[in-house]
Amino acid sequence: MADIGFNDDVNVGGRKFHVQTASHHSQGKASCEVFEQGRLINKSDVTFERRRHVDPDQFENRIRNVVESLHDETLQEIELMFSIAEKINNLKHAPSHVKMGMLFVKNNLLQDGIRHFEKAIKLNKNQIDAYNNLGLARIRLKEYDAAIRVFEEALRLNADYPDIHHNLGVAYYLEKQHFKAIDHIQAALRMNPDYRLARYNLALVYLDSILGDKKDTKLPPASIRAERALQQLKELKLKNVRQVLSKVQKALKQKDVKTAVKIIDTMREKVFPDDMYNLIGVDFYLRFMYGGKSLTNRTLEKFERDLSRAIEVKGDYADLWNSLGIVHLIQCRNLFIQALNEFNKALQINPRYEKALKNKKLVENDGKEFLILLRAILK
CATH (residue range 5-83)? 3.30.1450
Choose the most confident range, by mean pLDDT, from 89-93, 233-237, 244-248: 244-248
Domain residue ranges of the chain, discontinuous segments joined by +:
5-83, 297-378
Higher pLDDT, 82 or 364: 82
| pLDDT confidence of residue 202 | 98
Rounded Cα gap, residues 324 and 188, in angstroms: 30
Q: What is the pLDDT of residues 24-46, one digit of tens each?
A: 888 889 999 999 999 999 999 98
Report how far apart, in Å, the C-alpha atoms of 180 and of each of 142, 150, 168, 205 are. 18, 15, 9, 10
| pLDDT confidence of residue 276 | 65
- The H-or-E segment that residue 280 falls in is helix 277-290
Helices 162-174 + 128-140 axis angle, to 10 = 20
Question: What's the pLDDT band for 285 if we cut at 50, 70, 90?
Answer: confident
Our CA angle for 197, 203, 206, nearest 5°, is: 135
| pTM for this predicted structure | 0.84
| pLDDT confidence of residue 245 | 95
Question: What's the pLDDT band for 1 if we cut at 50, 70, 90?
Answer: low
Query: CA Rg, the chain, in Å?
Result: 26
Q: Which residues of 305-322 are buried (b: 16+ CB within 10 A; e: fewer)?
A: ebbeebbeebeebebbee
Closest CA to 265 of 324, 319, 211, 307: 211
| pLDDT confidence of residue 277 | 67
Closest CA to 326 of 280, 363, 264: 280
Which SS3 state, helix, strand or coil, does residue 39 take? strand
Q: What is the mean pLDDT of the chain?
A: 90
Residue 53 pLDDT > 60: no
Of how many residues is the chain composed?
A: 379
Q: What is the pLDDT of residues 131-157, one digit of tens each?
A: 999 999 999 999 999 999 999 999 999
